[in-house]
A and B are shown apart, each in its own frame.
Chain A
Amino acid sequence: GQQLNQSPQSMFIQEGEDVSMNCTSSSIFNTWLWYKQEPGEGPVLLIALYKAGELTSNGRLTAQFGITRKDSFLNISASIPSDVGIYFCAGQFGGNNRLAFGKGNQVVVIP
């Protein structure tokens, strides 16, 4: 089945620093999505990417859809304490298809 690899698994960063996380896949996808999940809650959609090479920003978040369609990265700039959470990447081959998720990157922001 489809498997998405996220690295690193956890990150401890100082408040104000930038943080980047990566997601790779053995399969190609037509859509890449980044979600944030906090304890006891469902994942919240942060950014959706629809075209290979696309670079999209949402506030302090920037994500890119890799040219090969097998990878994506998410960058958080000037981290703040409320950025704490688990960030998941998800790939989707088409609108009628399931989302395949990675295992997540846990981000801890140290004040």
Chain B
Amino acid sequence: AQSVSQHNHHVILSEAASLELGCNYSYGGTVNLFWYVQYPGQHLQLLLKYFSGDPLVKGIKGFEAEFIKSKFSFNLRKPSVQWSDTAEYFCAVNAHASGGSYIPTFGRGTSLIVHP
């Protein structure tokens, strides 16, 4: 079965600092990759997605992620964080299973706190 690992459980940064959140998955077949954000008290929202093509994906609010197939990684980055980026970030994988279904698997999440 596929799994998703997010190595940073808690990250604390000051405003304007650069951000990189790690995500590794274990699955050898076709995958689609996602990052979701959950602001305090809200539901998960899509930040960006990767299906194919350019491995560097641009998302909303200045976020980007790079898919490195050889490393099974999909790390999230932002050059300069803002206080409003304080949230929980989830990496997710849709792994292609038999019968044409795509099973979603989420990482444990990374809590980001940005100090003003």
Please determine whether chains A and B interact with each other in the same assembly.
no
Q: Interface of B with A (CB < 8 Å)?
A: none
Q: Interface of A with B (CB < 8 Å)?
A: none
